[in-house]
Amino acid sequence: MQVYLVGGAVRDYVLAREVTEHDYVVVGATPEQMLELGFSQVGADFPVFLHPKTHDEYALARTERKSGNGYLGFKVHADAAVTLEEDLARRDLTINAMAIEVNGLFDCSFKQGKFDTRDIIDPYGGLADIEQKKLRHVSIAFVEDPVRVLRLARFASRYAPLGFTVDESTAKLTSQMKAAGELSHLVAERVWSETSKALTQAWSDIYFDTLCQLNVLDVIMPKLYQASIDNPSQWQLMLSALRMAGEQQAHNVMKFALIATCFKSDQPYHNRTCEYLEFCQGLKVPKNAERLGLFIVEHFDELKNFDHLTADRLFELLRLTNSLKDTSLLEQALQVVHLYQQVKQTALLATIKTQLTQISAKDVASELTGKQIGEAIDKLRLQKLEEILNQPR
């Protein structure tokens, strides 16, 4: 029997990141042996066992064979003859397909310290991809599980601050999966599971941007994709606001509410509430997150102008949010809108600075001299500023 620490723990040790979970693969063991040693089986038909003391997961080495559609369409084969390399081959990305041998089932020494990277078993080039900051698939079997596309985007958001990007060869595989219709087999619960995990990341905007860049957002979140097409500037503002929310360590529910801003409409009598609700239903979004986003979609302008509302309108907001008993919903909505407006104002200021500073002496009449040149430049810049402010935003 051989026991290996695998996956995320090895990856994050190498990256000098906090390790939050320790998973192990056991080669050469049977379910009966694991049970006799005090381990408890997670599922009757699944070869994963919980350690009797640490409750870490110990999985028997296994292979998987495609037998149907989606992430459940696999037959698992686990026995004592399956090798570590065969087990690692079924994993999604090379950085998740590394291992290091430990001294038996009850050796937890790696939880207390680091290990020598020369001891890492790395049959698929995970260390090289970490060095090159690439997210690359282990094998062509990547195309068999549509959830891997979501995990790819989530890992892109997690490691983007370190400079990681999706390898071009892996991006091509996602295109093949889309063309084959494999992504249509994603179920709402798994999409929301990966999305909610992505929202915990500081750069959660990269998750949505990666799905967009991989050209799969239209299949996975069609309503959000349509919103991004209908108003590209609003989409970009949302992504920027998500980044700022991450920097401010905002709650995940508030981050999701920022996504809802893609569905707000600046056109009178054009209500996109239905599209937003269909988006939420397509992901099976929890009701508390859906409710905050819906309130923002329906009352964005009032929240933006909260300080200037009439008593009647303000009282209506208080009533709708039950704020005389609990102000939390209204407080969160105001914070989300404030953050969004802050990003919008920052973007506007950057645009103004860029376009006004491009106007110089070369743009005014050549016969002007001295003070006249400065006055002429100011006049042109004022005209440009009025033009910018009159544009739809």
Residue 156 sits in a domain whose CATH number is 1.10.110.30
Q: Which of 100, 129, 158 is the last residue of a domain?
A: 129
Say if 144 falls within a structural domain.
Answer: yes
Same domain? 90 vs 25: yes
Q: How many domains is the chain built from?
A: 4
Same domain? 144 vs 123: no
Q: Which of 129, 148, 171 is the last residue of a domain?
A: 129
d(CA 125, CA 173): 18
- What is the DSSP secondary-structure string of 222-262? HHHHHHHHH-HHHHHHHHHHHHHHHHTT--HHHHHHHHHGG
**pLDDT over 80 (residue 109):** no
Hey, what amino acid is at 374?
Answer: G
Query: Binning pLDDT at 50, 70 and 90, where does residue 72 land?
Result: low
Same domain? 101 vs 155: no
Same domain? 152 vs 237: no
pLDDT score for 114: 63
| Contact criterion met (CB below 8 Å) for 83 and 99 | no
For residue range 14-43, what is the model confidence (pLDDT) as tens digits? Answer: 998 888 888 999 999 998 999 999 999 987
For residue range 260-269, what is the model confidence (pLDDT) as tens digits? Answer: 999 987 665 5
User: Which of 113-127, 139-153, 210-224 is predicted with the least confidence, judged by mean pLDDT?
Assistant: 113-127
Same domain? 102 vs 138: no
Say if 212 falls within a structural domain.
Answer: no
| Contact criterion met (CB below 8 Å) for 2 and 25 | no
Say if 209 falls within a structural domain.
Answer: no
Say if 314 falls within a structural domain.
Answer: yes
| Contact criterion met (CB below 8 Å) for 337 and 241 | no
Same domain? 13 vs 113: yes
d(CA 166, CA 113): 30
Query: Binning pLDDT at 50, 70 and 90, where does residue 113 land?
Result: low
Say if 215 falls within a structural domain.
Answer: no
d(CA 166, CA 164): 7
How large a percentage of the chain has pLDDT more than 70? 94
| Contact criterion met (CB below 8 Å) for 8 and 23 | yes
* C-alpha torsion 195→201→205→211, nearest 10: -40
Instruction: Give phi and psi for 3, each to the nearest 5.
Output: -120, 135
User: pTM of the entire structure?
Assistant: 0.87
Say if 157 falls within a structural domain.
Answer: yes
The sign of the CA dihedral 109, 16, 121, 93 is positive
Nearest alpha carbon to residue 297 among 264, 270, 254: 264
SS3 371: helix
Higher pLDDT: 21 or 219? It is 219
Say if 240 falls within a structural domain.
Answer: yes
Same domain? 315 vs 227: yes
Q: Which of 72, 97, 129 is the last residue of a domain?
A: 129
Residue showing tokens 């207390």: 112
Same domain? 22 vs 87: yes
pLDDT score for 103: 87
pLDDT score for 178: 96
Query: Binning pLDDT at 50, 70 and 90, where does residue 177 land?
Result: very high
Same domain? 280 vs 295: yes
Domain with residue 56: its CATH number is 3.30.460.10
d(CA 4, CA 104): 8
- Structural domain boundaries enclosing 16: 1-129
Same domain? 113 vs 19: yes
Same domain? 20 vs 101: yes
d(CA 242, CA 45): 41
Same domain? 70 vs 194: no
Say if 210 falls within a structural domain.
Answer: no
